[in-house]
Amino acid sequence: MSVQLYSYYRSSAAYRVRIALNLKGVGAEIVPVHLRRGEQRGDAYRALNPAGLVPWFIDGTVALAQSLAIIEYLEDAHPMPALLPAGLANRAYAREIAHIIACDIHPIGNLRVLDKLSTDYGATPDARAAWNRHWMAAGFGAIETRLRQTAGMFAVGDAPSLADICIVPQLYNARRFGLDLAPYPRLVAVDAAARALPAFIAAAPQNQPDFEEGP
């Protein structure tokens, strides 16, 4: 198979790409990279992706990092079903929600950031989780407000979009780190609607070949 995705079952950035691949009906070989064991920092993986992060995506001669860039590539290569809603404003709202998650929330809750907090600043497991919850709550508040305006069955209207592709993995993280989701009823509702779709089910961490039980 010429399409490969280097992935870790609970990497939310890889989870986004898995959802997009499934929505587009693009089959891909999943190549597991064990983040907890540090495989992403090894020479073999860095020779592919010098950034030392997943996802890493290969489609024939194209090899690409960054989940949103990969998703845009898929959107360009396979326009239907569209991952951005119709209409200028709605397309921008879907991107806005995606960027709150991918640019504002996710980078500061990443494994290497949490590890740095522990090794250099003595953060305990509880402190790491509290840090993550703090930044997720800040972003989720903004998204919840936007959803009042944009949500239908899904985050922006009645079809799953880039916004839902980013929301579902981030809510998976939020539950993992024990964030109280009660203040975000719209976010919870659109997450539930999206997670019921086959493309999202197949992409879920528990359905990955490298899934492991445990914290």
Ligand X SMILES: N[C@@H](CCC(=O)N[C@@H](CS)C(=O)NCC(=O)O)C(=O)O
> Please, where are the H alpha helices in 65-195?
67-77, 88-99, 111-121, 125-150, 162-176, 185-195
Parallel, antiparallel, or unpaired for β 56-59 and 29-32? unpaired
- Does 112 help bind ligand X (rule: CB under 6 A)? yes
Rounded to the nearest whole angstrom, what is the least distance from the CB of residue 104 to ligand X in the complex? 12
Closer to ligand X by Cβ: residue 13 or 147 = 13
Beta carbons within 8 Å of 143's beta carbon, 6+ residues apart: 97, 100, 101, 167, 184, 187
- Does 67 help bind ligand X (rule: CB under 6 A)? yes
- Does 13 help bind ligand X (rule: CB under 6 A)? yes
- Does 12 help bind ligand X (rule: CB under 6 A)? yes
- Does 35 help bind ligand X (rule: CB under 6 A)? yes
Stretch that binds ligand X, among 66-74, 84-92, 153-161, 179-187 (CB under 6 A): 66-74
Q: Of residues 125-144, which lie at the interface with ligand X (CB under 6 A)?
A: none
Closer to ligand X by Cβ: residue 174 or 193 = 174
Structure-token match 């899904």, residue found: 154
Q: Letter for the amino acid at 171? A: L
Is 64 in a helix, a strand, or coil?
strand
Query: How far apart are alpha carbons 95 and 128 in whole angstroms?
Result: 28
- Does 173 help bind ligand X (rule: CB under 6 A)? no
Residue nearest ligand X (C-beta atom): 112
Q: Interface with ligand X by CB under 6 A: which residues? A: 11-13, 35, 40, 53-55, 66-68, 102, 110-112
